[in-house]
Each structure stands twice: as structure tokens, then as C-alpha cells.
Amino acid sequence: MDQRNQVGDPGRLFHPDLPSLRVDALTGLGNAFAFLADLSAAVDWATGRGQPVTLLLVDVDGLHAINTQFGRETGDVLVQEVARALGESLADLEAEEAAAGEAAPAKAATHQAPAGPGGPGGGAAPGRRLYRFGGDVFAVLLPGIDTAAARTFAREMLGQIRDTIIRLPGGAPLPISASIGISGYPDHARSAGGMIVSAERGVRRAKEIGGDAVFLRAPADPASPDHPDAPAARLMEMLVQRVVDTVDLLEETRTLAYTDPVSRLPNQRAARDFLEWECRRSARLNQPCAVLLIDGDNLKQYNDRLGHRAGDRMIRALGELLTRQVRRSDFVARWLLGDEFLIVMPGAGREEASAVAERIRAAVNSETRGWELPVTVSAGLAQFPDDATEPELLLRCAEAAKDRAKQQGKNRVVAWRPDAPPQAGRSARAGC
């Protein structure tokens, strides 16, 4: 079964493309929360394994002035282009290491985060990753790479940024540059907070010499008692741990708030949030989106004959069955009452969604024959934007189609027809 919609991965409780607490909405990169958690884990790994970890802080030169002169939209485009350039540089580094690994596996092994069980000193480090740390600051985390190799990589990365040019509304080119500060474990610091302090000082030094530069300080330890950065490093280390703990708690709370305890699927609140997000995305991309509202036909029999615990077990098993039948990109949630489920199908037209719905109906018929009481389902289908352009109206259309499936004898799929007469008590717009 595809576990994407199950509890256990808070960042993907809703959908693989839907930003979580650890994702920057503008670039899709990990944000400061993700960076702090991964940096802390990387230092723990390096401490136990005797491996280096290098941090690059990349500060885009002059972003505030660009936002002021040309508008935030231009600044956002610039940030996205820098993210793209940095991502390409990181991909090039990984490709070079992969090629070197094929030629000399033993040498390449010193640059690879070792696999193994998690935990300080015994697990795999976070991968080489790129983050947007703040408005104009990116971070690159390089476990297994020392500062000398990272400096060479940073210079190549700076060249990639220089080669990135965006066009202003009038067509004039806008060159881009950045200042990069480098800090490494154990050369410059032995804590995540110390690494951040050291790298940030490197950025400031690069700015002082005019920007568009890479700065690597001489080896030192900002956390040592006699180092001038020691108080700041210790404070930063405390803040890093507090932020990591707080984000973990927030994600746990978010998971509980958006999870149905019976089916262990996303609940109605998560479904509504995702549908609103997906309708906006579909409108922007000019693509369809289908909604299936599926209702079991047998819950009352389960509750009356076998008890409510058996009914809950049936709901959970039915949710797992539905999840196995949908496309990888689809979203499954438990809906309002009983054994109702909502499936959102990004990019699906009416024909494709009907085929999936019919596959689900047939699978339920087939796979539940051995249950204490066999189960059937009735499904209603509605499509964005043909049936409705607002999420709430789309849900009403799907519900009206599901009700018709019930009225026509259950165990069937009914697609919403705009020309069908509206049911009493429902909006007359689009007949639902």
C-alpha cells in the first residue's frame, strides 16, 4: 500500500507537493527550521564518526535595494533564480562525486554520508542539501566534505550565480552576485551554533571587502572559552536546540490536528485545506482536478450486528483499501461521517477519474467478500473547473452525485451532470 497519506511523515500528511512547516513556500527548498534540524543532526553524526561537515551561508548581494527599486516581485524572481543556480551547482557536485566514485570507490567513500541506523555517531548524515535560511540568505550543508574542498565548490557556485541573469520588465539585464561565508566542523566550530556564528562572520567579511566573494576564516573554535565568539556561539547553540524541539512539537501537534484517529488518514480539516490549495494550483496551471466522494453502504449493519468497534475496524480497512487503488499523486482523507471518504485527484479529467472510481468500487466488491460482512461503496464524482470553480461548490456537486448513486441502488459510481435537476436544499449553481 502507498503510505503517502498515512500518519508518520508529518511533512507529507497532506500531499507530496504541499509545503510543510519545514519548506520554504517561494523556492520549495527546506527552510530555516529544516536547516537547523539537519545541521544539528549532521554535527551529531560527525562527532561520532570523526567526519567533517561544512556549512556555506550564501547571502544575495543587494536584494533589499532590488526589492525597493524594482518591486518585491522582481526580488522573488531573483531569489528563485539563485535557488535554481545553487541547486544546479549541488547537482553538479554530486554528479562529479558519483563519477569519481565509479573510478575510485575507496576515495569517494570519504565524501559520502555512511548508511546505517540513526542516532548520534551511528547513522547516516543528512544529505548534501540546500536551504533558504532567510529572505536573501541560503545555506548549503555538506556532510563529509572538508572546508578546503568546500571552498573550491563555493567558488564554482559563485560563478554559477554570476552567470545567472534575470531580465527587468523593460528587458534590461539584472546581474546577480552573492557573498559566501564558510564554516566547518571541526576546524571552526564543534557545535551547530558555533558553525552558524562562524559562517555568518564569513559572510560579513565577504560583504566588507565588496561582496561577490567567498570568505573562509582561519581554523578556530567559536565555542572555546577564550574565543571572542564564545558567548554568541553558546547562545546560538541554545537557540538551535530550542527551535528544533519547538518545530518537532508543532509538527506533532499539526499531525494530530489533521489526522482522523479511526482511519489514521488525513481528516476533514486536512482535506478542505488541501482541496483549496489544489484548486488554486489547478487554476494557475489551467488543468483539471477531480473530486470523488465515496460512502460505504454497510456501516449501519456492521454497527448493529457486530458492534461499533467492528465498525471502526471496517472503516480503517476500507480506508487502506481505497489508498491502495488510487494514483500516486492522489489524496485520500476520511470525510464527515461514518465510512465517508474524500479523494482529490490533481490533473484528472472526468474520464480518468471515472475509471479510478470504478476500479475502487470493483476492488471493494472483490476484496471484502471474505470480511465478516461484505462491503460495497457508492461514489459521486465532480470535476474542477467544469462543474464548479469554488472548492465548496465542487464538494456539493460530488455529494449530490453520491446521493444519486445511493438513490439508484448503491454500489455504483455517478458523475455529476450539470444538466441534472438540483436537489432540495442545495445550491442551484451548477445544479449542486
208 and 314 share one domain: no
Domain identity same for 248 and 283:
no
Residue 74 has pLDDT above 60, yes or no: yes
Q: Which grid cell is 41?
A: 543532526
Q: Are residues 199 and 285 in the same domain?
A: no
Q: 145 and 179: one domain?
A: yes
In a domain, 12, yes or no: no
* Domain boundary residue, one of 228, 257, 286: 257
Q: What is the pTM of this model?
A: 0.59
Q: Smallest Cα–Cα separation from 205: which of 319, 59, 50, 315?
A: 59
- The model's confidence at residue 217, banded by pLDDT at 50, 70 and 90, is confident
- All three cell numbers of 156, joined, read 564554482
For the segment 144-163, what is each residue's pLDDT rounded down to a tens digit? 999 999 999 999 999 999 99
For the chain, the domain total comes to 2
Q: Are residues 294 and 391 in the same domain?
A: yes
Q: How far is CA 339 from CA 262, 297, 304, 316, in A?
A: 10, 8, 15, 9
d(CA 425, CA 296): 23
Domain with 182 in it: 18-257
Band of residue 426 on the pLDDT scale cut at 50, 70, 90: very low
As a whole number, mean pLDDT of residues 42-60 equals: 92
Per-residue pLDDT averaged across 86-93, rounded?
91
Q: Are residues 39 and 169 located together in one domain of the fold? A: yes
Question: What is the model's pLDDT at position 228?
Answer: 46
CA distance 140 to 419: 56
- Whether 282 and 247 share a structural domain: no
CATH number at residue 203: 3.30.70.270
Last residue of a domain, one of 257, 276, 304: 257
In a domain, 253, yes or no: yes
175 and 76 in a common domain:
yes
- Domain boundary (195, 224, 257) is at 257
Express as a percent the part of the chain with pLDDT over 90: 45
CA angle, 40 as apex, 3 and 178 as ends, to 5°? Answer: 100
Tell whether 212 is covered by a domain: yes
CB atoms within 10 A of CB 293: 26
Q: H helices within 104-191, ranges in order? A: 105-108, 147-162
Burial (0-12, 13-18, 19+ Cβ within 10 Å), 227: middle
Residue 82 covered by a domain: yes
Q: How confident is residue 120, by pLDDT bands cut at 50, 70 and 90?
A: very low
Give the model's pLDDT for residue 287. 94
Q: What mean pLDDT do residues 92-111 have?
A: 60
CA angle (126, 130, 131) in 5-degree steps: 105
Instruction: Please enumerate in sequence order all residues whose Cβ is within 8 A of that of 135, keeping only pairs 6 or more positions apart, or say none.
Output: 63
* 62 and 188 belong to one structural domain: yes
Contact of 22 with 11, CB cutoff 8 Å: yes
Residues 282 and 343 in one domain: yes
For residues 175 and 64, membership in a common domain is answered with yes
Looking at the fold, whether 235 and 274 belong to one and the same domain comes out as no
Distance CA 87, CA 114 (A): 22
Whether the per-residue pLDDT at 47 is higher than 70: the answer is yes
Q: What residues form DSSP beta bridges with 341?
A: 294, 334
Q: Is residue 11 part of a domain?
A: no
**What is the average per-residue pLDDT within 355-380?**
93
Predicted pLDDT of residue 101: 67
Could you report the per-residue pLDDT of 285-336, keeping only the tens digit for each? Answer: 899 999 999 999 888 888 888 888 888 898 999 999 999 999 988 999 999 8
Q: Is residue 9 part of a domain?
A: no
